[in-house]
């Protein structure tokens, strides 16, 4: 009898494991705008590659099931997808059934994609309904006209990803067959969570939550799917279970909600206090027709007199370059815990934040940065984009605008970096593109400084960033020296159409990159400046570079390359599997030689 019970229990556990495996990344993907009524669509989808771009001729948009399976939200290049096809995939097709909950009748029904690289075409029951461009930005499709609650429909997604075209963002995805240098395995198709949710027709579309600590208030700018003459929006701010502010306004896009915030708890990396916020849209009778849960961090960032300020006090940024690659998921973290762990590792290494490099990180990462206290720089995946092409510029502006709109409410995010190392940018299309992106970004979010092009080639910028991988302390000190009447060290000096330094905060936002790897890995791997002979030489070289920065009083922040190894680039302070390479207490002590708050 006991044996039969154990067998039954093991069988039940196997069923549970299979069921659980069907829904990877089960957490709600948009933690700053969370609704209760949603369906996670991650799990097993069917797919077919379309190397000949003949799928539409073959009517693949009408297919109710492809012959191969893939685990969404992991890209087909990754191990976690179950596919692991790492050659170029210019076109592919996805399919899954879409069952609409019966109780969604009378509501707007949205199909949401965290990100699809690069162009996605959506078909419901053989009918084309929408197209989206942008490999890193989230988007929503209104399915209301095409589906019926209580019924099952057929969803097909066609993906195009022409990485070598120069007309789309790609980040660190390699344009050669093999990964090489600082370019790595490619990412195609769906790589973030897909989900459905139901929203009242007059529901809340988005908000811009603007903390104003100088006037001790929180300003909310709401936008609705459909405005109402007699509906209202109620905004409640809570400290735990205690209501600290509450206001009700008309549910119109022109409404402004101003909430006094007395005795504020300010958000900082050291004290990452978050207020809960609840948005309730009500009809004319006072019935709640839409409820969204959110949070806000009361904090201010600005630049003045060559200094970066957090909450009106000088704040020194000790950043680490984080590329957000994972051995098994490529661009997609294997779990929510993995996102959290990367931030924990950064803090344990002595960093107070990260420059999120050549990848738009998913919102769950920002949630953990907000919660744990970790400042971030938001960056596009701008590499492989030809910044001198007009169509490339058009594509970039659309994608980047969606990114800024999505992430502008996160208190951890303190700087926008649209471009990185745009060395080939010319005086016509490039200059115009950077100026347009700067002004568009400021229009969507005027609350943060912009680092127009990390590593120089600056056109219009609030942060003056440079890259310098000089390994010798004395040489680095000399290169970073400010001299009266001379422009400081920069990476691009010979282009008269570029900006000149005008006293912005000067930041060394790439340096270091000291390699450290096992003997067996040295043949095909690399870092900057050659491999130290032993651990002590590693510490000595690292400390020398930090001392050079300390000597350079005008430098107001740094970004060390990098948090983890990525494939053949082995210059992380952690291995690619996130285990420590060296004595992390010593590493932490070296980086923390520069305090976050100078003079305190």
CATH number at residue 63: 2.60.120.260
Residues 292 and 310 in one domain: no
Q: Which two structure tokens, joined as six digits, stand for 400?
A: 């980047």
Q: pLDDT-derived band of residue 83, with 50, 70 and 90 as boundaries?
A: very high
| Alpha helices, H only, 259-380 | 336-348, 363-372
Residues 242 and 166 in one domain: no
Residues 561 and 488 in one domain: yes
Residues 193 and 269 in one domain: no
Q: How many whole angstroms separate alpha carbon 444 and alpha carbon 208?
A: 9
| Closest of 111, 115, 122 to residue 196, by C-alpha | 111
DSSP 422-469: -TT--TTHHHHHHHHHHHHHHHH-TTS-B-SEETS--SS-SSEEEE--
| Alpha helices, H only, 196-355 | 336-348
Q: How many domains is the chain built from?
A: 3
SS3 16: helix
Residues 327 and 456 in one domain: yes
Beta-bridge partners for 242: 239
Within a domain: 18? no
Whether residue 118 is preceded by a cis peptide bond, meaning omega within 30 degrees of 0, is: yes
Within a domain: 1? no
Q: What mean pLDDT is reported for the chain?
A: 95
Label residue 20 left, alpha or beta by phi (over 0 means left) and psi (-120 to 50 means alpha). alpha
Residues 252 and 392 in one domain: no
Q: How many whole angstroms separate alpha carbon 374 and alpha carbon 21?
A: 31
Q: How many whole angstroms separate alpha carbon 465 and alpha carbon 473?
A: 19
C-alpha angle 179/54/62, rounded to 5°? 115
Residues 136 and 278 in one domain: no
Residues 313 and 446 in one domain: yes
State the maximum Cα–Cα separation within the chain, in Å, rounded to a whole number: 90
Within a domain: 535? yes
Q: Which two structure tokens, joined as six digits, stand for 544?
A: 């020398």
pLDDT digits (tens, 9 = 90+) for 22-36: 799 999 999 999 999
pLDDT tops 80 at residue 514: yes
Q: What is the CA radius of gyration of the chain?
A: 25
Q: What torsion do the CA atoms of 349, 541, 543, 505 make, to the nearest 10 degrees?
A: -90
pLDDT for position 22 = 73
Looking at residues 539-544, what average pLDDT do you find? 98
| Closest of 356, 479, 469, 336 to residue 407, by C-alpha | 356
Q: How many whole angstroms separate alpha carbon 86 and alpha carbon 75?
A: 10
pLDDT for position 492 = 86
pLDDT digits (tens, 9 = 90+) for 257-277: 999 999 999 999 999 999 999
pLDDT digits (tens, 9 = 90+) for 200-253: 999 999 999 999 999 999 999 999 999 999 999 999 999 999 999 999 999 999
Within a domain: 19? no
Residues 376 and 392 in one domain: yes
- Domain extent, residue 241, equals 214-296
Residues 193 and 223 in one domain: no
Within a domain: 599? no
pLDDT for position 507 = 98
The pTM of this model reads 0.95
CATH number at residue 370: 3.20.20.80
């Amino acid at each position: 009898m006991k044996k039969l019970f154990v067998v039954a229990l093991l069988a039940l556990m196997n069923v549970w494991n299979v069921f659980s495996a069907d829904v990877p990344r089960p957490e709600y993907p948009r933690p700053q705008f969370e609704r209760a009524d949603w369906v996670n669509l991650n799990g097993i989808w069917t797919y077919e590659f379309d190397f000949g771009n003949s799928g539409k001729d073959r009517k693949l948009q009408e297919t109710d099931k492809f012959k191969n399976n893939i685990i969404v939200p992991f890209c087909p290049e990754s191990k976690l997808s179950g596919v692991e096809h790492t050659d170029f995939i210019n076109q592919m097709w996805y399919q899954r059934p879409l069952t609409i909950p019966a109780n969604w009748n009378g509501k707007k029904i949205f199909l949401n994609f965290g990100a699809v690289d690069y162009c996605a075409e959506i078909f419901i029951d053989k009918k084309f309904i929408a197209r989206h461009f942008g490999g890193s930005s989230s988007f929503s499709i209104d399915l209301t006209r095409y589906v019926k609650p209580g019924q099952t429909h057929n969803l097909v997604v066609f993906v195009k990803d022409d990485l070598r075209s120069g007309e789309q963002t790609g980040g660190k995805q390699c344009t050669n067959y093999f990964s090489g240098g600082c370019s790595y395995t490619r990412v195609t198709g769906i790589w973030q969570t897909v989900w459905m949710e139901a929203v009242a027709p007059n529901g809340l579309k988005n908000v811009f939550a603007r903390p104003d600590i100088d006037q001790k208030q929180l300003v909310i700018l709401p936008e609705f799917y459909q405005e109402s003459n007699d509906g209202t929006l109620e905004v409640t701010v809570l400290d735990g279970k205690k209501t600290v502010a509450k206001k009700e306004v008309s549910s119109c896009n022109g409404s402004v909600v101003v909430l006094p915030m007395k005795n504020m708890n300010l958000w900082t990396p050291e004290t990452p206090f978050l207020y809960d916020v609840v948005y309730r849209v009500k009809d004319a009778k006072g019935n709640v027709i839409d409820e969204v849960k959110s949070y806000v961090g009361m904090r201010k960032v600005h630049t003045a007199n060559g200094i970066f300020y957090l909450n009106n006090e000088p704040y020194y940024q000790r950043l680490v370059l984080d590329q957000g690659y994972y051995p098994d998921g490529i661009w997609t973290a294997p779990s929510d815990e993995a996102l959290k762990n990367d931030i924990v590792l950064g803090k344990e290494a002595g960093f107070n934040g990260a420059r999120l490099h050549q990848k738009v990180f998913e919102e769950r990462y920002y949630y953990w940065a907000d919660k744990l206290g970790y400042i971030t720089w938001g960056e596009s995946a701008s590499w492989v984009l030809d910044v001198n092409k007009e169509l490339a510029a058009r594509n970039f502006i659309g994608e980047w605008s969606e990114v800024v709109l999505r992430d502008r409410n996160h208190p951890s995010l303190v700087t926008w970096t649209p471009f990185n190392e745009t060395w080939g940018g010319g005086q016509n299309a490039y200059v115009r593109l950077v100026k347009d992106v700067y002004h568009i970004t400021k229009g969507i979010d005027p609350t943060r400084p912009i680092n127009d092009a990390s590593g120089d080639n600056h056109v219009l910028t609030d942060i003056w960033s440079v890259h310098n991988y000089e390994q010798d302390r004395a040489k680095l000190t000399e290169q970073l020296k400010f001299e009266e009447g001379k422009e400081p060290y920069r990476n691009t000096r010979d282009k008269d159409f570029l900006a000149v330094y005008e006293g912005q905060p000067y930041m060394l936002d790439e340096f270091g990159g000291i390699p450290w790897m096992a003997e067996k890995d040295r043949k095909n791997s690399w870092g900057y400046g050659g491999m130290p002979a032993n651990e002590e030489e590693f510490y000595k070289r690292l400390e020398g570079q930090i001392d050079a920065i300390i000597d350079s009083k005008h430098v107001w922040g740094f970004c060390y390359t990098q948090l983890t190894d990525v494939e053949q680039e082995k210059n992380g302070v952690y291995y690619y599997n996130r285990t420590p390479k060296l004595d992390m207490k010593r590493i932490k002590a070296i980086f923390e030689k520069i305090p976050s708050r100078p003079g305190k």
